[in-house]
């Protein structure tokens, strides 16, 4: 059996924590920032956890994570 391939786009976007939860970065912070308030941009900093309903599909894209 050949090795399973990791989806390289998913590998760049997600990291699996030691607890098994999946970490992701916030969206909506790349461009068109002038019309967004300072508060909304500040709250988009950092990372957050992938929603429980999406974890299964993300884990399928990262077979060795």
Residues 11-46 have pLDDT tens digits of: 999 999 999 999 999 999 999 999 999 999 999 999
Beta bridge partners of residue 25, listed in sequence order: 47
- Domain ranges in the chain are 8-61
pLDDT of 44: 97
pLDDT of 50: 97
What pTM, to 2 d.p., does this model score?
A: 0.84
- The topology under which CATH files domain 8-61 is Factor Xa Inhibitor (4.10.410)
Contact 29, 41 (CB under 8 A): yes
pLDDT of 33: 97
Q: How confident is the model at residue 54 (pLDDT cuts 50, 70, 90)?
A: very high
Burial class (CB in 10 A: 0-12, 13-18, 19+), 13: middle
| Rounded CA separation 22/45 (Å) | 17
pLDDT of 45: 96
């Amino acid at each position: 059996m050949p090795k399973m391939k990791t989806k390289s786009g998913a590998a760049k976007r997600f990291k699996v924590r030691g607890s098994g939860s999946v970490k992701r970065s916030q969206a909506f912070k790349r461009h068109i920032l002038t019309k967004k308030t300072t508060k909304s941009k500040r709250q988009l900093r950092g990372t957050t956890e992938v929603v429980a309903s999406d974890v299964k599909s993300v884990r399928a894209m990262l077979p060795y994570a």
